[in-house]
Amino acid sequence: MQPGDERPRVQFEPGLARTLVAFLRQLGPVERGGVLLGRRDEGTTQVSLAVFPPQLAHASSHCAFAVNAIEILHNASDTIEADGVLRPVEKIVGWVHTHPRIGLYLSNTDVTTFAAWTQLDPAAVAVVVDPYQPGDDVDRIGWWSAPDRDAPVEPGPRTADRQSIREVEPAPEDTLSWTGSAQLAEAVEREGNGGCWEIVSTTGVHSIFPAPQVEAVPPSEAAAEPDVLTEPDVAPESDVTPESNVASESQVADESDVAAESGIGPDSKVVDEEAG
């Protein structure tokens, strides 16, 4: 950050915007949500990875994934030897979701989700990607920071305060390598529980498919009613925003079970552990 420049900013590792946009375009016009991994330094958030856990729901106007995906990611990081390979992704720094063909903004649902998140992590950022926007790859990505703590939460959509990402120049010496992102992918595969995880780095995309972790059911419980958590709690549809004239986008789900459309709900497990 330059002297006198106290505004927060978000920087992507060189090439990450290109890889992320290209990956999301391949998926077609459906929303996806995930988390951003990186580090923070003197008001700058540097993003090295975008991680998309298995999606409980994803369509043109909404997406959701389970909150326990954050715990899986956190546990996977802890299993990797502390040799510095993951220093560029030392923490979850925000959440990301897509708005395919509907533009870069935070809807009313997004604003509510972001407010809940930043109560636990005030420095978190919200990133929205529309891979079909015109312009360069960095123009297809926007981000928002939390409003001032004393300011009331204004309803969405938030468009005017959208900020643009930058790419780090020159690339830092400890830029996350393909080997580093592969180590994290292998750890997630060990810790995960079914589904498809996609880990997007500046060097490419790791798609992994952890084996389902099936717990043995005692005979005495075999006839019991199934746990309600076995049926994912999908976020409801939000209202259409008149100003934007677009279909309603990512939805909010129960914070204890399902992440909101725009990536996740508050990652309380991660924050609590870091605070401890």
Do residues 271 and 261 lie in contact, with contact meaning Cβ atoms separated by under 8 Å? Answer: no
Query: Residue for token digits 């934007």?
Result: 244
> Could you give the CA distance from residue 48 to residue 96 in angstroms, rounded to a whole number?
13
Amino acid found at 204: G
Q: Torsion angle, CA of 190/72/55/99, rounded to 10 degrees?
A: -120
pTM: 0.74
> Could you give the CA distance from residue 253 to residue 146 in angstroms, rounded to a whole number?
21
Instruction: For the chain, list the domains and their CATH numbers.
Output: 9-275 (3.40.140.10)
Do residues 64 and 234 lie in contact, with contact meaning Cβ atoms separated by under 8 Å? Answer: yes
> Could you give the CA distance from residue 24 to residue 129 in angstroms, rounded to a whole number?
9
Provide, for the chain, the percentages of residues in helix, strand and coil under a 3-state DSSP scheme, each rounded to the nearest 5: 25, 20, 55
pLDDT tens, residue order, the chain (276 aa):
444 455 679 999 999 999 999 999 998 899 999 999 999 988 899 999 999 999 998 888 888 888 889 899 989 988 876 556 666 677 899 989 999 999 999 988 888 888 888 888 899 999 999 999 999 999 999 999 987 766 666 776 888 889 999 998 887 777 788 888 999 999 999 999 999 999 999 999 999 999 997 665 555 554 444 332 223 333 334 333 333 333 334 433 344 343 434 333 444 333 333 333
Name the helix (H) or strand (E) containing 12. Answer: strand 9-12
The first and second tokens of residue 110, run together, are: 């997004």
